[in-house]
Structure 1
Amino acid sequence: LDLTEDFWDLILDTNLKGVFLCTQAVARHMVEQTYGKIINISSTSALGAIEPGQAAYAASKFGVVGFTKASAREFGPYGINVNAIAPGRILTDIVYAHSTPERVKRFIEVGKAACLLGRLGTPEDVAHLALFLASDDASFINAETIACNGGRTNLMGR
């Protein structure tokens, strides 16, 4: 009920339109060279781990998954792989910058409890997956959204 249209637009413009604009910026060049790797960032929220008050965020990240699949279908014939990473709770500087110490503590506690590995992810965890997807070792992976959440999706529905 507290979700405003302005906030909705801000989140979708950042998370979904941003992915669209980045894809547009690189796709033509990749098509010309008949090779490329596009790696989008979605969220575990797009895999069903939706928390209360996150309607706009979840919608934007579900949109990234759909856009990734559609783009993979469109660009696959040109040798372009399009995949997405769906991170879970990742402990970044922005968590500290935009939260009180109490909220950070709660973020960490909830994140650990919702993860089979009992820890939050790091930016490096996501980066390693992105590096793999960008490598030739991932040449046959296309149109996928890969969770990077320490097993959180395994605990959903409990």
Structure 2
Amino acid sequence: MKIDFDGKTVIVTGAAHGFGRTIAHGFASRGAAVHICDVNEAGLKETVAFCDAKAQAHLLDVGDRTAVQRTVAVIEANAGAIDILVNNAGGVRGQVGRPIEEISEMDWQTIFDVNLSGAFFMTQAVAPSMKRRKFGRIINISSGAGLGISLTGIQAYTSAKAGQIGLTRQLAHELGPWNITVNNVAPGFVRSNPSTERQWEAMGAEGQAKLLQNIALKRLGLPEDIAAMVMFFASDHAGWVSGQVISVDGGK
């Protein structure tokens, strides 16, 4: 199966490290014009270098609807159209699991802003041009936490990821008449960024062994495993696939 994206324009959010960086590289290495977004300017520069300068960086907080509309308009003005959107921005914003009574309104909202509202705002911004062209591929990156419980113990994270899965299914039906597919990748635990490294270390040897034992393939995955599913969803091979949530987790 040969997958390439020659002539396609792609936006990848949360691209300063981890999944986003690897996904951006996957598209760039297959001929796409890649636009990467994140709040981490230094990380964006590293991702551009990782993509052999075949990506353009945009400093963006996806939870800011006005900034999202402005950034997408700039990309569209330069590129002409956006073919593929990968809503990868997310995470726990430095939080750790705590009892529900200790969670402030800001603790709750900041995680929803990046994990759920950001995916909605980005899709809202690209939808009009995709509708006009009757073509689009939207891929949301959720988490196994959205299908069950979160290893982090963070209530807002599992709730936001579950909401993103629901948004995926809803938008697949809304946008389908315009030949726009919307799909979702739900990764298992992957050591892909500073947060997951801290989580891995906090498990200790016993916790790490237990995690691996619960995975059918008895090993952790790599960011490349997540990127591979994104490449499929974005490709012509998935032209009749929409509203799907695929767990890429080694088997549970």
TM category (shorter chain) comes to 0.7 to 0.9
CA–CA distance in 2 between the matches of 1:21 and 1:10? 15
Contact 1:111 / 1:119 at 8 angstroms: preserved in 2?
no
Runs ≥4 residues deviating over 3 A: 49-52, 104-111
Matched, 1:16 2:116: yes
Contact 1:108 / 1:120 at 8 angstroms: preserved in 2?
no
CA–CA distance in 2 between the matches of 1:63 and 1:45? 11
Name the counterpart of 1:89.
Answer: 189
Q: CA RMSD for the aligned pairs?
A: 1.9
In the TM superposition, residue 110 of structure 1 has moved relative to its aligned partner by 4.3
Which of 119, 141, 146 is residue 46 of structure 1 equivalent to? 146
Name the counterpart of 2:128.
Answer: 28
So what's the TM-score if we normalise by structure 1? 0.86
In the TM superposition, residue 90 of structure 1 has moved relative to its aligned partner by 1.1
In the TM superposition, residue 45 of structure 1 has moved relative to its aligned partner by 1.3
Tell me: CA distance 1:5–1:110, structure 2 relative to 1, closer, same or farther (3 Å).
Answer: farther
Q: Would you tell me which structure has more helix in proportion to its own residues?
A: 1
Which of 78, 98, 103 is residue 202 of structure 2 equivalent to? 103
Query: Structure 1, residues 55-101: CA drift from partner, whole Å, max 9, x if none?
Result: 111110010011101111110000000000000101113223xx288
Name the counterpart of 2:56.
Answer: none
Q: Secondary structure at the match of 2:103?
A: coil
CA–CA distance in 1 between the matches of 2:213 and 2:107? 29
Matched, 1:72 2:159: no
Matched, 1:61 2:161: yes
Name the counterpart of 1:156.
Answer: none
Matched, 1:144 2:144: no
Tell me: CA distance 1:122–1:105, structure 2 relative to 1, closer, same or farther (3 Å).
Answer: farther
What letter matches 2:132 in structure 1? E
Q: Secondary structure at the match of 2:181?
A: strand
CA–CA distance in 2 between the matches of 1:76 and 1:100? 38
Task: Give unpaired runs (5+ residues) of structure 1.
Answer: 153-158
Contact 2:141 / 2:186 at 8 angstroms: preserved in 1?
yes
| Structure possessing the higher relative contact order (Cα contacts under 8 Å, 6 or more residues apart) | 1
In the TM superposition, residue 46 of structure 1 has moved relative to its aligned partner by 1.6
Q: Secondary structure at the match of 1:118?
A: coil
Task: Give unpaired runs (5+ residues) of structure 2.
Answer: 1-99
Matched, 1:121 2:221: yes
In the TM superposition, residue 149 of structure 1 has moved relative to its aligned partner by 0.6
**Percent identical residues:** 38
Q: Secondary structure at the match of 1:90?
A: coil
In the TM superposition, residue 52 of structure 1 has moved relative to its aligned partner by 6.7
- Structure number with greater Rg is 2
